[in-house]
Amino acid sequence: MPAGVMIPARNMPSMITGNGSVSGYGTSSGLALGQPNNMMEGQLHPLEMTQNASESEIARMRDEEFDSTNKSGSENHELGGSGDDQDPRPNKKKRYHRHTQHQIQEMEAFFKECPHPDDKQRKELGRELGLEPLQVKFWFQNKRTQMKTQHERHENTQLRTEIEKLRADNMRYREALSTASCPNCGGPTAVGQMSFDEHHLRLENSRLREEIDRISAIAAKYVGKPVVNFPLLSSPALPRPFDFGSQPVTEEMYGVGDLLRSISAPSEADKPMIIELAVAAMEELVRMVQMGEPLWMTSLDGTTCMLNEEEYIRTFPSGIGPKPTGFKCEASKETTVVIMNHINLVEILMDVNQWSTVFSGIISKASTLDVLSTGVAGNYNGALQVMTAEFQVLSPLVPTRESYYVRYCKQHAEGTWAVVDVSLDTIRPSPTVRCRRRPSGCIIQEMPNGYSKVTWVEHVEVDDGGVHNLYKQLVSSGHAFGARRWVSTLDRQCERLASLMASNIPTGDVGVITNQDGRKSMLKLAERMVISFCGGVSASTAHTWTTLSGTGADDVRVMTRKSVDDPGRPPGIVLSAATSFWLPVSPKRVFDFLRDEHSRSEWDILSNGGAVQEMAHIANGRDPGNCVSLLRVNSANSSQSNMLILQESCTDPTASFVIYAPVDIVAMNVVLNGGDPDYVALLPSGFAILPDGMTVTDAGMADSGGSSGSLLTVAFQILVDSVPTAKLSLGSVATVNNLIACTVERIKASLSCDNA
C-alpha cells in the first residue's frame, strides 16, 4: 500500500474516548492512492480500527478499500476530527486525527537508521509515540513505497537526459561527417586528414556492405525472400539500420554466430525435445567418463586422452546428428583433484555469473536464456538451463566460439554429481553455426577433507578456418579449448579461493598482507582487473579490432571505447591495443621474466628505467608465480615517484598471465584497510602466455627446460583523452602503436630473440 494512505475499517465500532477524540490515529508523509489528477501528495484516506482488531482483518479491509478508492477518486478526504461510524447522518464526511509533527519526525529519523523494523522495534516505537504497532507498520510500508517511487522517478529523469544528450551528439556527428571535405580540392576527406573514428567508419562501412550482400543471399536461400540490393552508404556517414524483411538489422547484430538469428528463450513446443536431449546427453557423458580404450586413446606425447571418432560413432550412433561438412572434431578427457567441496563446485557451474568469473580466461561472455527447472530438494539436482556462451583464446588472432546449448545437472549418488552441456542447434538450425557442443561436461566426486575429484570431457565440432596460422597447432592439439585447459583453470581458481578464505597466514615474510579484510579487498580488486583484461583481448563478437599496419602476425590491432559513469574505470576515451607473436623460449621462462619486478625496467617503457620494488604481496596458489603484488616505481621523475602498480600473475600447465594496472596510492590505502575496492579506477594491461602447441620434436628447437616455444599476446589499455566526447586523433593511435612495438622489441631482445 502506498505511503500515507489510511483506510477505514468496516462494521467496526469507533475508538471514541470520553472526551470525544479518537485515540491511536495519525498520518504519515508519502504517496496517496486515488486517481492522479484528483489526488495531491499528502492527501489521505481515514483508517478506523479497534485495539483488538487482528492484523489479517486489517489487511483484508485495506485491500477492500483499495478497490473502492480506485473506483472513485472523489472520496479522498483531508483528515480532521473524530469518527462518525455512530453518527446517524450518512452523508457527513469522515474526519480524523493526523499524525503529529513530532510523530512524523521521530518515525522519519528512525526510518533513516532502519527502514525495516521488526515487531519488537515497532512496538517500542509505537509505545514511545502513542501509536499502535500496526499504524507504525503501515507507516513504514508506505514510506518504503514512497522512497522507491521517488528513486525510480529520479532514475527515469536521468535516463531521459542521457538519451537526449546522446541523440544530440549523434545528430551532430552525422552532420559533421556528412559535410567533411578536403580543404584543398573540396572532395572527400583523405585518410591522412580525418580522425581515427572517421577512418574506422569508412572501413566498417565497406565491411557492412559486403556482409549485407552475403546475408541477403542466405536469406533468399533459407527464408524464400528475394535478394535485396542495398544502396551504398554515403562514405562518411554513420552506419544506419537496414531493412531485412521485417527485422531491423543494425551493426550490433553482426558477429560470429549472431547472423540471421536472435537467440532467445525456447518456445513451449521446444521444451520437451530439449529435456529429452539433455537426458540423453547426461547418459552419454557418464558412459564416456567411465570408458577407456578403444574409445579413448593416449596422445603421442602421453599427456592427453584423445577420442577415437570411429569408435565413438559405433558406440553412440544417435545424438545431435552427423558432423557438419568442413567441421573438425576436438574431444579430450582429463581428471584432477581440486581443493573445493563438491557442492560448491556444482553451484559455480550452475550459476552463470560465478562460472564466467572463474573461467574468465576461457569465457568472453555468457548468459542464461531460460531456466526450465531449478532442481529439487533445495539443490541443483535436476536443474535445466538454456544458455549461450562465447569461448575465447586470449588473442585477437583466434575467433571466438559461440554456442547455444542446454545445461543439465544431476546427482547420481551420494557425493557424486554430473553437469552436462549439449548444443540445441538441431532444434533451432542455423546456417551460421561454427561450433557445436556434443555432450560435454564433468563428473564431480566428493573426497575427504573438502577436496573433489573432477573428470572433464570436452567434445566439440568446429569450423576453425578463421584461426591464424600462428595458433593453428595450439587449437588443433586441443590445448586451447580442451578438457585440460578447463581442469587446469579450475584447479588454479580453487587454490585462489582457498587462499582468500585462509586464516593461518604466516607473518614472517616481509610484505605479506595479514589483515584478513585487506586481503579480501585486494584480491577482489585484482579479480576485477583480471576479468577486465580477459574481456578485452580476444576476437570477441563484442569487439571491433582495426589492424594498423601490414599483414603479418605482428600487426597491432586497436579498438576504442568511451568510459562514462563507470566508477571502476577512469572517464574518457580508452584505446586498447594488442598484438600476438611467437617466441622460441618456453612459456615458463617468459612468465618468470615478465612477472619479476627486478627485470621490469627491461621492458616497461612507462617506468622510465626506474627501479621497481614490491611493497606487498598475497600468495594464492602452490606455485610461487601465483600471487597478487603491489609494486612501487622509484622513478627519478617526481610526477611518478608515488606511482603504484597492482599486479596479478598466475600460471598453470596450459596458460600463464601477467596482468597489471596503475593505481592511486590513496585508493590502495583504503583497500588495504578493508575498504570497498569497486570504486578504484583501473585500466589493466598485461600479457597472455600460451604454449605453441608443438612438442619438442615438432618444434625442432627448445630451451634448456625441454619445452618448445611460446605464443605471447601483449595488450595495453591507454586513456588517451579524459573527455569522453572528444575525437581520437591518428596521432594518439600512432603513439600507442609505437609503445607496443617498442615493448615487443625489448622483450625479444631481453630473451635473446632479436632475430625472431
Other C-beta atoms closer than 10 Å to the C-beta of 453 total 15
Domain covering 507-695+707-754, topology: Alpha-D-Glucose-1,6-Bisphosphate; Chain A, domain 4 (3.30.530)
Write the pLDDT tens digit of every residue in 373-406: 888 867 898 999 999 999 999 998 898 899 999 9
Is the entire prediction scored with pTM above 0.75?
Answer: no
Write the pLDDT tens digit of every residue in 648-701: 999 999 999 999 999 888 888 888 888 888 888 888 999 999 998 875 434 333
pLDDT at 543: 60
Structural domain spans, the chain: 104-162, 267-500, 507-695+707-754
Write the pLDDT tens digit of every residue in 408-426: 999 998 999 999 999 988 7
Where do we find the cell 536461400?
221
Cell, residue 511: 610484505
Sequence-separated (6 or more) residues with CB below 8 Å from residue 431: 218, 221, 222, 260
Choose from 50-64, 224-238, 488-502, 507-521 the range with maximum mean pLDDT. 488-502
Contact assessment for residue 359 and residue 486, using Cβ atoms and an 8 Å cutoff? yes
Average pLDDT over residues 459-484: 88
Where do we find the cell 586497436?
558
CA distances from residue 458 to 406, 486, 493 in whole angstroms, order as listed: 15, 9, 19
Segment (H or E) for 146: helix 133-178
DSSP line for 473-503: HHHHTTTTTSHHHHHHHHHHHHHHHHHHH--
Strand, helix or coil for residue 323 = coil
Contact assessment for residue 638 and residue 631, using Cβ atoms and an 8 Å cutoff? no
User: What is the residue type of 445?
Assistant: Q
pLDDT at 627: 92
pLDDT at 256: 37
Cell, residue 439: 555432450
Tell me the Cα Rg of the chain.
Answer: 32
Sequence-separated (6 or more) residues with CB below 8 Å from residue 352: 366, 367, 368, 385, 387
Domain covering 267-500 assigned CATH 3.30.530.20 in the classification: yes
Measuring CA to CA, which residue among 418, 419, 446, 452 is closest to residue 340? 452
Average pLDDT over residues 560-578: 80
pLDDT at 347: 94
Sequence-separated (6 or more) residues with CB below 8 Å from residue 292: none
Write the pLDDT tens digit of every residue in 457-468: 999 999 888 888
Average pLDDT over residues 209-235: 49
Q: What is the rounded CA–CA span in Å between residue 677 and residue 671?
A: 6
Write the pLDDT tens digit of every residue in 18-61: 444 434 434 333 333 333 343 333 333 433 333 344 444 444 54
Where do we find the cell 482488531?
53
State the average pLDDT for the chain.
75
Segment (H or E) for 435: strand 435-437
Residue 508 CB burial class (10 angstroms; 0-12, 13-18, ≥19) = exposed
pLDDT at 9: 42
Choose from 12-16, 24-28, 188-192, 676-680 the range with maximum mean pLDDT. 676-680
Contact assessment for residue 553 and residue 692, using Cβ atoms and an 8 Å cutoff? no
Q: What is the rounded CA–CA span in Å between residue 83 and residue 97?
A: 9
Write the pLDDT tens digit of every residue in 313-370: 888 887 777 888 888 999 999 999 999 999 999 999 999 999 999 999 999 889 999 9
Q: Provide the pLDDT confidence category of residue 301 given band limits of 50, 70 and 90.
A: low
pLDDT at 308: 86
Contact assessment for residue 315 and residue 431, using Cβ atoms and an 8 Å cutoff? no
Cell, residue 438: 556434443
- Kindly state the percentage of the chain with pLDDT values over 70: 69
Strand, helix or coil for residue 453 = strand
Strand, helix or coil for residue 662 = strand
pLDDT at 1: 43
Average pLDDT over residues 539-564: 68
Strand, helix or coil for residue 418 = strand
Write the pLDDT tens digit of every residue in 235-246: 333 333 223 233
Contact assessment for residue 727 and residue 197, using Cβ atoms and an 8 Å cutoff? yes
Q: Pick 419 or 517 by higher pLDDT.
A: 419
Measuring CA to CA, which residue among 482, 394, 475 is closest to residue 659? 394
pLDDT at 258: 45
Cell, residue 153: 522517478
pLDDT at 544: 67
Where do we find the cell 582495426?
546
Q: Pick 462 or 431 by higher pLDDT.
A: 462
pLDDT at 190: 47
Q: What is the rounded CA–CA span in Å between residue 6 and residue 31?
A: 11
Q: Tell me if the bond preceding 677 is cis, omega within 30° of 0.
A: no
Q: What is the rounded CA–CA span in Å between residue 372 and residue 265?
A: 10
Contact assessment for residue 585 and residue 703, using Cβ atoms and an 8 Å cutoff? yes
CATH number of 104-162: 1.10.10.60
Average pLDDT over residues 569-578: 84
> Phi and psi at residue 309, in whole multiples of 5°?
-65, -40
Extended strands (E) in 118-207: none
pLDDT at 494: 93
Q: Pick 598 or 220 by higher pLDDT.
A: 598
pLDDT at 452: 95
Answer whether 267-500 and 507-695+707-754 agree in fold: yes
CA distances from residue 28 to 6, 70, 105, 339, 534 in whole angstroms, order as listed: 9, 20, 10, 55, 52
Contact assessment for residue 417 and residue 447, using Cβ atoms and an 8 Å cutoff? no
Sheet with 627-634, side-by-side order of all strands: 546-547, 557-563, 572-583, 710-721, 685-691, 655-663, 644-652, 627-634, 611-619
Write the pLDDT tens digit of every residue in 685-742: 999 999 988 754 343 333 434 457 999 999 998 888 777 777 777 788 888 888 888 9
Strand, helix or coil for residue 32 = coil
Write the pLDDT tens digit of every residue in 87-115: 444 454 555 557 888 888 889 888 888 98
Residue 359 CB burial class (10 angstroms; 0-12, 13-18, ≥19) = buried
- Is pLDDT above 50 for 518? yes
Alpha helix ranges (H) inside 559-625: 587-595
- Is pLDDT above 80 for 65? no
Other C-beta atoms closer than 10 Å to the C-beta of 692 total 24
Contact assessment for residue 473 and residue 395, using Cβ atoms and an 8 Å cutoff? no
Measuring CA to CA, which residue among 718, 467, 716, 705 is closest to residue 590? 705
> In this predicted structure, which of 74-78, 169-173, 378-382, 613-617 has the lowest mean pLDDT?
74-78
